[in-house]
Amino acid sequence: MPPVSDLLLIALYAGAGAAAVGAAGALALRALRRRSVAVSLAVLTAVTVGAMLAGTLSVAWAMFLNRHDLTVVTVVCAVAAAASALTALLLGSRLIAGHRALERAARTLGREGGFIPPDSPAPAELASLARRLAEASASLADARERERALESSRRELVAWISHDLRSPLAGLRAMAEALEDGIAEDPDRYHRQIRSEVERLSAMVGDLFELSRIQAGSLALSPTRMSVYDLVSDAIAGAGPLAAERGVRLADDGVDTVPVEVDGREMTRVLANLLVNAIHRTPADGTVAVAARRAEGVGSAGGPGDAVVLSVTDGCGGIPAEDLPRVFDTGWRGSDARTPPAGAGLGLAIVRGIVEAHAGRASVRNVPGGCRFEVILPAAAPTPPPETGTGTGAGTGAGTGTAPVPAPAGAPSRSAPSPH
pLDDT tens digit at each of 420 positions of the chain: 556 676 777 777 677 777 877 788 788 878 877 777 767 777 777 777 777 777 777 766 666 556 777 677 777 777 777 777 777 777 777 777 777 778 777 777 766 666 777 776 667 777 788 888 888 888 888 888 878 877 776 776 677 667 667 777 888 888 888 888 888 888 888 888 888 888 878 877 877 777 777 777 777 888 899 888 888 988 888 899 989 999 999 988 888 888 889 998 889 989 999 999 999 999 999 999 999 988 876 555 555 568 899 999 999 988 988 888 888 887 676 654 334 455 556 788 889 989 998 889 999 999 999 999 999 998 887 666 655 554 444 444 444 444 444 444 434 333 344 444
Say what the pTM is: 0.55
Buried b (16+ CB within 10 A) or exposed e, 43-68: bebbbbbbbbbbbbbbbbeeebbeee
CA distance 358 to 256: 20
Buried b (16+ CB within 10 A) or exposed e, 156-172: bbeebbeebeeebeeeb
